Amino acid sequence: MAKISDLSWLTGHWKRELPNGMEGDETWTPATGSMMVGVGRTLRGGSLIFLEFMRARETEKGLELRVWFAHKAELSGGTAFAEKSSKPGEILFENLANDFPQRILYRSDGRDRLFARIEGGKGNPEEFKFRRTRLG
C-alpha cells in the first residue's frame, strides 16, 4: 500500500486549458503527517464554474481520497474514494457506490506534467492534463 509520502510528486500548482475559453487548476499542499490537501477550480471568463476540495490521507486500508464538490459555489457532502492501486508516480482511487465518477486516476507525466482521469458510473470518462506552475 502507498504512503502519503509516495504522493510527493502531486505537490504544487497545476494548470490546464479547456475548450470554450474555460481554464482550470489544482493546487496540492506538501504531505503533513498522514495527509495532504488540494483545491481545484474551473473558471470561464474569470467566473467560478466549479470548485472541489480534496484530501488524501492514509487509512488502515491504504490511501483514501475524499472530494467535496461545489458547483456554482454550493457545497455538497464529501465523497470518499479508496486506494485501488498505486505505483511510483501513479495512484488510482475508487468508489463504486458513487454515481460519477467511480474512479479517479492521477499520474505524473514527468516532473512538470500531471495527468488525471475520472471515469465509471453515470458519466463519460474525462481526462485532464495539467502543467506545474508557480503560485501567484
Which tens digits make up the pLDDT trace of 48-99? Answer: 888 999 999 999 999 999 998 887 556 556 788 999 999 999 999 999 999 9
Q: 61, 75, 110, 70: which is closest to 90 by C-alpha?
A: 110
Confidence (pLDDT) at 90: 98
Domains contained in the chain, number? 1
User: Which range of residues forms the domain containing residue 83?
Assistant: 4-133
Q: Which percentage of the chain shows pLDDT scores above 90?
A: 71
The residue-averaged pLDDT of 22-28 equals 94
Helix (H, G, I), strand (E, B) or coil at 119: strand
How much is the pTM? Answer: 0.70
Per-residue confidence (pLDDT) for residue 77, from 0 to 100: 66
The pLDDT of residue 63? 97
Q: Which pLDDT score is estimated for 74?
A: 60
11: β partners: none
Q: How confident is the model at residue 46 (pLDDT cuts 50, 70, 90)?
A: confident
16-54 burial: b if 16+ Cβ within 10 Å, else e? beeeeeeebbbbbeebeeeebbbebebbeeeeebbbbeb
CATH code for the domain of 113: 2.40.128.20
Q: Which residue did the predictor score with more confidence, 37 or 135?
A: 37
Please state which of the ranges 3-7, 70-74, 94-98, 112-116 shows the lowest mean pLDDT: 70-74
